[in-house]
Homo-oligomer: A and B are copies of this chain.
């Protein structure tokens, strides 16, 4: 069993104090996202996550999705949960109201998504993929396609998938070989094989709308010759009823390390002459369309890191409270619960601190996304849009790397029991392990951060963000007490380390692009701890202000101590990482392939 208790108070704190949900609710279109409505959404999502989705998490892992004769069956209970999920209106929370969506701001939906992902990561991928397909059609599809597909996808009657990967084309979509041929009647015929298709087939919905990248005859080589098509599993008649079965078939599903409840399909297109497809947008612009959605997808995967960490923490904390083993270091003959042992406390508080840093950062970036999309002032929009672009690879890669580390700490807190599958701690680690890989590996995020988001921008946005960090450092310096002093003692040099490292990229990237790129991932980690610390410490200040104002709630004391632990344990690594960024590019490039 993997019980899940939604951390509603932590979420509300992050939404109110860091993401400034009140500001978000002042943006055009998001007026509802305030006060009681926010609380109601969080409460209801929390109930659904803990009561409906969480009970299926371990059983779904154990049972797994099953492929038989071309059809995939999801684990017991998934279909019923999915029906309830859609009935409750959760499927379209961020989709546009004109097609039936709820139109919630990203800030609030971040918290909601976090809950689905903690409660049942495998389940959560079904609506996530539909959501991605909905967004692609919304942004790039014709009005006819929108009208035909969006209402049923947003309601959850039909699901959606994203078909990018092929055996020879993973991170490198220039190598996509699937073919599309114009049939002359407004349709295309698609053929080829797609792999790693999340929920590529399943029994949750009567139809599945595949978004497929394929290449037209005579299309330019590489990424500029890829087009995007809608390929429904069942063709849709003019009246909206389902027509013939299309020529796309699930030929197998993968046997994976984790997310067993979520089918990962191999789809074969065109075995009987070609699957009927409909062009989305213009020919040869498919990859561009995919990139439009990339930020959103990568942000969502970043939330998965946070969500796995939260679940791992709850599980480990619960076990540490009841597992009696060893004497207290302070004395006494009786054995005590292991939560009393300093090293167990270190692990638990490290987990908690990283979780709160991840959440603080993710919700803040979600708020920037809303501001970037909906603020009436163009300059404010542009500024926040740029900040979001900069931070997405950090949220994605740092949070997922931390998610794995925290899940692994969760196993460790359990000792031998952590290694036994029935306990559940191991499942969280297995599930989390995909998150640094899909939607672009950590290495790809790091290269994106360094080359596209910093160097191409001549460091403009980064400099602005570092400026905000420095201003915050001054605020931090005004706070009293040893804990805030400790935060500043780590934060100030860490911001300096970040700035120096970025400067190193700027000065060395032309002469030594490969050597500099060896530092991309250490730099991303550095950025993660500094940005995470920044937002976490903002929260600590907000908490201290409550305490100073007379609140005696230990919730706020905990926020301060948790932030302090992060400063001492995670942020203290900053200067070492900067050293690695600046000096660590020599050997990996100098060594030849044969010497490896």
Contacts and interface: CB of A to CB of B under 8 A. Distances in A.
A586 B486 contact: yes
25 contacts: A165-B416, A168-B324, A170-B325, A170-B416, A171-B326, A174-B335, A254-B419, A257-B426, A330-B513, A343-B447, A347-B443, A349-B588, A349-B591, A404-B408, A411-B433, A429-B433, A490-B579, A522-B569, A565-B584, A565-B591, A569-B580, A572-B576, A572-B579, A573-B573, A573-B577
Contacts of A163: none
A347 to B, nearest CB: 7
B421 A256 contact: yes
Interface stretch (A97-105, A112-120, A462-470, A555-563): A555-563
A442 interface: yes
Interface string A357-379: 00000000000000000000000
Contacts of A576: 572-576
A300 interface: no
A595 B339 CA distance: 12
A596 B348 contact: yes
A381 interface: no
A40 interface: no
B443 A344 contact: yes
A550 to B, nearest CB: 19
**At the interface, is chain A mostly helix, strand, loop or mixed?**
helix
A416 B437 contact: yes
A422 interface: yes
A580 B564 CA distance: 11
B352 A596 contact: yes
Interface in A276-292: none
A80 interface: no
Contacts of A258: 419
B437 A418 contact: yes
A594 B557 CA distance: 11
Kindly report how many copies of this chain are found in the complex they form together.
2
A595 B554 contact: yes
Contacts of A382: none
A341 interface: yes
A317 interface: yes
A239 interface: no
B513 A593 contact: no
A342 B520 contact: yes
A219 interface: no
A423 to B, nearest CB: 10
A311 B573 CA distance: 29
Nearest 5 Cβ contacts at the A-B interface? A343-B443, A558-B595, A568-B584, A342-B517, A565-B587
A569 to B, nearest CB: 5
A325 B554 contact: no
A256 B419 contact: yes
Contacts of A442: 412
A179 B426 CA distance: 33
B441 A419 contact: no
Nearest to A254: B420
